[in-house]
Structure formats: structure tokens, C-alpha cells
Structure 1
Amino acid sequence: MQICFFEDIKCKNFKPLTLTRPPWDLRIGILTIYQKWEKMLRPELIVWNTEEHLKDVFKTPDLIPSKPCWYINSRVLPSKELIQDITNLNPGDALFYENELIALCSEDTFDFNLLDSFKPAKKIQLGNKPCLIEYVWDLLSLNASQIESDIELLKDKPIHKEADETVIIKHPENIYIHSSAKIEPGVILIAEKGPVYIGEDAVIEAGAVLKGPVAICKSATVKLCGRIYDGSTIGPGCKIGGEVTNSIFHSFSNKAHDGYVGKSIFGQWCNLGADTNTSNLKNNYGMVTIKDWETKRSYDTGIQFFGTVMGDHSKTSINTMLNTGTTCGVSANIFQSGFPPRYIQSFTWIDGQRNPRFRFDKALEAMKAMMARRDKEVTPEYAKMVEYLFEIREN
């Protein structure tokens, strides 16, 4: 079986996170969307269609000729029931939930330019709504349940191991600690409301408190006395301290010091300076409004709690205060006193005065310096992608 991820018009709702990655590379729970499908469906081949500027960084294999392909919406999270419905599709069939195209099967290469006018030979309606993410904050509302379901997917999931006698563990049957993980003295692990997952080579420093459902992924570090509340994912290679609640950090991002982060999502290679705080609730307890990344129009999210969504490589200085419903692009540098704007373009220096545009050569230099610290390289393809994002940024 071969599958291909496609992107529909609603995939734009995940920018700025998807300025630098396809939607299927978003992390929710322990795994990315791609990894979930890979583990549940175990296809022979996975290919994808994505935006032009991402194709050199995320190079897709070629489809196997003369074999049918199952095309799957990048926004859909797998379940046993949905996989059964998808594998039952015959060539020419398409699976919908109301007006949302979930999946289709075709013996021919599908033309994604015709997606909006696509008419299947047989249209099949799902009776139950699948797990379908529509807005960026859906990643947060579903994160806790996805941590739990991802643990079931991990056949090699870590099991609870003996810890220092000073480590306090509540509900050990719901604790998953990889044998290579390091748990320092005085750590508190509370799994009463959901699992605590600590992955390969992760480090939980002394005095930290983890309250499940929570996922600390491979090679991540929770710093001294860090407090990680339920619904949070600390991605691979991240270093996180202070207080974090219901938030997602993609890989290699840092928040190593005190400060509060709540109901927020950070891409890769972000760095939050000491005492950076995110507000996630308005003083009047009203619904949070944010700006659409493409139209720049403000709209009501319909939710009361939402903090910050920040694209890759953006950074804050010490004592930064991010307002409720802040959207920040790629490679922004925020260091003004007081509250910065709630909409921050990519490659902007937020100094509270002129907010000048970041020079491309300096932005690339900063990326190379940070990535080198983790033995990662800025490839020519990656640099080309970043340059494209720099060029399309509005002056």
C-alpha cells in the first residue's frame, strides 16, 4: 500500500508553523502526524504534495507506478476506525466527512490543482467525525488525548524503571520512562489524570514536577525545578524550565529559565530569554482574537485561553511579555520593553521603535550558530527555503 498526503485550503490555518514544514510534520502528542500514520498504517511507501518552497527540504519519493495510491488529508489524525474505512476504498472512491475530503483512492496520479472541483466516482460519507485539526489551537485541545493514544502506538514504549528513592511517583502504572533517561533526585511525577512519558536520553533535573498527560521526547531536558503541567509536549532536543501548561515545543527549542508559558505552540529552534511570559487569558475573560497570517484580518477564535504561536528560529530577550493571542513568524527577534505587537512578521527586530527588518545574512548566520550547537547543519536547500520566506515578507 502506498499513501500520499495532500494539503487542502484549510492547511493555511497552521501558519506560521507551516511556513517551514508541511502540516503532516506538525507534532501533536508524542509523534508527528506523519509518524502516527506510519506506525498505524505501516504503508509500503509514503509520499506527499506540499508547497513549492518546501519541496527541496522535504523531498518526496516517487509513487510506485501501476499501483493504486490512497491520498490522505494532511490534517487528519489516524484511528483504527478511520484506517479501516480508508483501506476499504476502491479506486475512484472518496471518503468525506460532510464537505471535508478525508481520503481518496486512485490508480492514476492525482492532479491537486483540481482538488476543489474533484468529483469522485463514489462518494462515501463518514458517520462519525474523524480527528481532524482545523485551526492551530486544535493542536493544544487534542494534545493530551494524543499523548495517551501515541503511547499505545509505541510498541517499544519505555516502561517504568527504578528511580532514586527521593523521586515521588504517583500512579506508577501510568509512568513510562526509557531506560536511558535520567531522573535526578527530588523529581515528582504525577500520573493521576494521564500518563507521564519520558523518552530516550531525556533528562529530568532535580526538583522538577511533571503532571500528566505530558510527553518529554527524545533527548529533551526539563531544567532544575521546572513545572510541566498536563497537555504539554516537550519535543526532541528541547531544554525547558520554569512553568509550562498545555503547550507544545517542537524540536530543539529552548526555554531554559523561569517564566510562564501557557496554551502556546513554538516551532523548531526558538529561544525564550529568562522570564519570558505568555499571557493566555484576557483581563475581561473574553474570547481571544488573533490575526490570520495571510489576510492580516483579526478574527474571534471562540476560545477563552490561547497564548502564543511562534514560527521557527524566533527569539525573545529577557523579561519579554507576550500578549494573549500573539502570532509570530520565522526568525523574529523580540527585545522591546512592554508588550510587543500581537502580530509579528517574519524577520523583524521588535525594538519598540522602528521594528526594522532583519538582514537576511545576519538571520542565516544566527540560524547556523544555533544549529551548530546541536551538531545540525543549515543545508543549501534549507537556506534557499529561508531566503524565499525572507523575500516574500512584506516590507
Structure 2
Amino acid sequence: MQICFFTDNKALNFNPLTLTRPLDDLRIGIFSLRRKWEYRLKVNNTCRTVLPYLEGEFPKGTLNKTDDCLWINSRCLPDQQLIHHIQKLQTGQALTHNKDIVAAKVDGDTSSRLFNNNQFDPGVVDQTSVVESRLIENVWDLLTYNADEIERDLTLTNLSALKPSRHPSLVTSASENIYAAEDVTIEPGCIFLANEGPVILQQGVTIQAGSILRGPVSVGENSTVKMGARIYGGTTLGPFCKAGGEVANCIFHSYSNKGHEGYTGDSVFGQWVNIGAGTNISNLKNNYNTVKLPHWDSKQEVESGQQFLGTIMADHSKTAINTKLNTGTMCGVSANIFMSGFPPKLIPSFSWVGSSDMQTYHFEKALETMAAMMVRRNKELDSDYQHMMRHLFKNR
């Protein structure tokens, strides 16, 4: 069956991370939302509704009007019970959770019309059934569910349990809960604590000497944990990331770096982020109240209900050495932060956040920095990527 991912009116709650990607491309646990569904449904050809300015980097795909289509809400986290309900859907039926459409089976002609209009319409289904499902509602839900999703996603990998005998200087607890690809490098003096959840090392990972990992933790392909790092549970490093210092309950999308000392807790980072040496990110208020943070689009402060919540930072943003970020900071795309005190909690895209004020980052200079960082990882700043960034700069 063909599958199309759609978004609803709650998709805006995931900006600024989704300024540069469709919602289905967000990472939670080990994999992106889309990849989880593809693994569980055993399909590899999906399509999506997508904002026009993103389509160059994230193609919509194709939809065949002669076949029924399963429409899936991009905010939904799959599990086997939900898959069971989905497989029983008849054409014209949908599953809902708290009045939100979770999934719907729609005929090919109607699906083709919806796909061409780039928007799903709940009115096309005749019958709905209520199911228990995990729908992420706000950006901080990525952190709330990340530890659980690491454990769930483990079943979707082909990783085997680590053989401690191959690493004689490695200290472990619950070694049967440590999983690693054959080609990982684990330097002397590391400690893996897997009593509270798995430690997962994917292909090409390097764990440098003296690092401590407490599960559940997932280290993505070709990522490096720097010497003496302390990585706490609920942390995901996407592919080609670097992590050092102290990191707790964080998600790093691919190609992002926090390679030095400094504390980072309960935060989500997009791609191509660089956290400077000595940067500290607060995740707990001094009065222990729950954290409020700015909504990206309305600019109004919203109550997260979370006692621990750090920074949400979009692609290509960077901090200088010894930067301090407050609880509940929202940082857009391609911001350069080098303020000596706490910067504002809402940092617009393409901001140049200096010692005393906040100015606009010159667009061509921002592109030069993007290209310089990307070429180091053999990636090209192509015309589609530039088009996406130019759109964001003009509409910041």
C-alpha cells in the first residue's frame, strides 16, 4: 500500500526545527518519524505533503491514483498495536486520538486530489474509530518521549549485543543491554551503564577514552563521543555528530557538534549546529517552577509544564565560547550567538547576537559559513538548499 505523510494545524508547534525540514523528518529515538513508519510497515516508497519552499530539498514523492493510500499524521509515533489497527482499516475509514486524525485509508482518486492540493482533508473519511496513540503535540514532547523511543527503535535495528571480551578495558553494567555494530571503536577506560536502558552504538561510531555513557543512549552512524564525555540517559546523537562535556536528555540531528566541556540538558538541536567550548545551557529554573518558552510563530510565551527544558535550536546556529543560554530558549536558523550575558529567549533566524545588541546576519556571509561547515563533511550547499535558506531569510 502507498503511504503519504500529512501535517495538521499543530505542525507549527515544532518550529523552528521544522523551518528546514518536514515534520516527518524530525528525529526522536534512533530514527526519524518517517523512517520508523517505513520500518514498521516494511515499505520504502512514501510520499508527503510539504511546504513549497522545502520541496527542492525534501521532494513530495509520487502518488498513484489507481491505488488506495494510507495517510499518516506526521506527529504520530508508531507501535505494533497501532500498526495492527491500521492494517484493519477499510477504504474511507480513519483512526483518531483526542479528535486528531492518526491515520486514514483513502481511495486513489481522492488521495490524488488531496496530494495535488498539498493538504489532507479529514472530511473525506466516512467512519472513524478512536484508538490509543502517541501523538506529539509540542516540540518538548520530542524530549519527553525520547528515552522510550530509543528502546522501541532498538527492535528496528539489526544490531547485536556487544561482546565485552573484545574491549578488555571497558567497564559495563548490564552488558547484555549494550548493542554495537561490528566496526565501532571503543578506546580504553570507557564506562557503559545500561541498567536503566540500552546503550546503542551504530556503524562507524568512536567512543574516545574515558567516556561514560548511561542508557538509554543512541549514538548514530559515524558519530564521535569525545574524550571524557558524560552522556546521560535520553540522549540521541544523530549521524556524524560530535559530543563532549556533559549532555543529558538531548537530541542532536545529524552533523551537529558539541565537542567541548560545558553542560547541555533537555535540549533539541537541528543539523549543522555548533556549540562552542564552555557553553552552558540551563534546563532548570532557580525557583523550580515549570519552564515557559516563546512560541515561534505567535511570539507569545507558552507554558510547557516541564520542570526541565533547555534550548530548542534550529539548523546552522552556533554559540561562541562560554556562551550561556537560559531555560526555554528558542533559537532560529543560522543565528550566531556570542553575547557575554544571557541572550534573549527568542532568537530570530539569521540573528547576529553580539555583546550588546542583536543585528541581522548578512545573508551572503551566512551562506559562506554554511558552505564552509558542510564541505568539511563532503556536503554541498546546492541551489535547492540556498533557495530554502533565502526563503527563510526573506520571511524571518
- Relative to the length of structure 2, the TM-score reads 0.96
The aligned counterpart of 2:192 is 189
More displaced stretch, 285-294 vs 38-47: 38-47
1:247-302 per-position Cα deviation (integer Å, ceiling 9, x unaligned): 01110101110000000000000001101010001111111111110010111111
The aligned counterpart of 2:331 is 328
| CA spacing shift, 1:116–1:300, aligned 2, 3 Å | farther
Secondary structure of residue in 2 paired with 1:356: strand
The aligned counterpart of 1:299 is 302
Q: Distance in 1 between matches of 2:113 and 2:96?
A: 17
Q: Distance in 1 between matches of 2:113 and 2:235?
A: 37
Once the 2 structures are TM-superposed, how far is the Cα of residue 61 of structure 1 from its aligned partner?
2.0
* Structure 1 runs of 4+ with >6 Å offset: none
Note if contact 1:163-1:183 (Cα within 8 Å) is conserved in structure 2. Answer: no
Once the 2 structures are TM-superposed, how far is the Cα of residue 51 of structure 1 from its aligned partner?
1.2
Once the 2 structures are TM-superposed, how far is the Cα of residue 60 of structure 1 from its aligned partner?
2.4
Secondary structure of residue in 2 paired with 1:261: strand
1:152-178 per-position Cα deviation (integer Å, ceiling 9, x unaligned): 111x21431333322101111100011
Which residue of 113, 116, 121 corresponds with 2:126? 121
More displaced stretch, 108-117 vs 38-47: 108-117
The aligned counterpart of 1:369 is 372
Once the 2 structures are TM-superposed, how far is the Cα of residue 119 of structure 1 from its aligned partner?
5.1
Note if contact 1:332-1:348 (Cα within 8 Å) is conserved in structure 2. Answer: yes
The aligned counterpart of 1:353 is 356
Amino acid of the structure 2 residue aligned with 1:80:
Q
Note if contact 1:2-1:44 (Cα within 8 Å) is conserved in structure 2. Answer: no
List alignment gaps of at least 5 residues for structure 1: none
Secondary structure of residue in 1 paired with 2:5: strand
> How many pairs were matched up?
390
Q: Distance in 2 between matches of 1:45 and 1:182?
A: 34
Q: Distance in 2 between matches of 1:308 and 1:299?
A: 14
The aligned counterpart of 2:286 is 283
| CA spacing shift, 1:60–1:158, aligned 2, 3 Å | farther
Structure 1 residue 131 corresponds to structure 2 residue 134 = yes
Secondary structure of residue in 2 paired with 1:153: coil
Q: Distance in 1 between matches of 2:92 and 2:152?
A: 31
Q: Distance in 1 between matches of 2:250 and 2:232?
A: 9
Secondary structure of residue in 1 paired with 2:203: coil
Q: Distance in 2 between matches of 1:149 and 1:235?
A: 16
Structure 1 residue 160 corresponds to structure 2 residue 165 = no
Once the 2 structures are TM-superposed, how far is the Cα of residue 98 of structure 1 from its aligned partner?
2.7
1:138-191 per-position Cα deviation (integer Å, ceiling 9, x unaligned): 11111111111111111x214313333221011111000111110000000010
Q: Distance in 1 between matches of 2:36 and 2:120?
A: 24
Q: Distance in 1 between matches of 2:42 and 2:216?
A: 26
Once the 2 structures are TM-superposed, how far is the Cα of residue 110 of structure 1 from its aligned partner?
4.8
Once the 2 structures are TM-superposed, how far is the Cα of residue 79 of structure 1 from its aligned partner?
0.8
Secondary structure of residue in 2 paired with 1:36: helix
Note if contact 2:207-2:226 (Cα within 8 Å) is conserved in structure 1. Answer: yes
Q: Distance in 2 between matches of 1:45 and 1:271?
A: 33
Once the 2 structures are TM-superposed, how far is the Cα of residue 44 of structure 1 from its aligned partner?
6.0
Note if contact 2:276-2:321 (Cα within 8 Å) is conserved in structure 1. Answer: yes
Structure 1 residue 222 corresponds to structure 2 residue 195 = no
Structure-to-structure mapping, 1:17-166, within 5 angstroms: 17-43=17-43, 45-107=45-107, 108=109, 109-111=112-114, 115=120, 118=123, 120-126=125-131, 128=132, 130-154=133-157, 156-161=158-163, 162-166=165-169
Note if contact 1:158-1:199 (Cα within 8 Å) is conserved in structure 2. Answer: no
Q: Distance in 1 between matches of 2:81 and 2:208?
A: 40
Note if contact 1:328-1:344 (Cα within 8 Å) is conserved in structure 2. Answer: yes
Q: Give the share of equivalent positions with the same residue, in percent.
A: 47
Which residue of 252, 261, 266 corresponds with 1:263? 266
Q: Distance in 1 between matches of 2:174 and 2:356?
A: 52
The aligned counterpart of 2:257 is 254
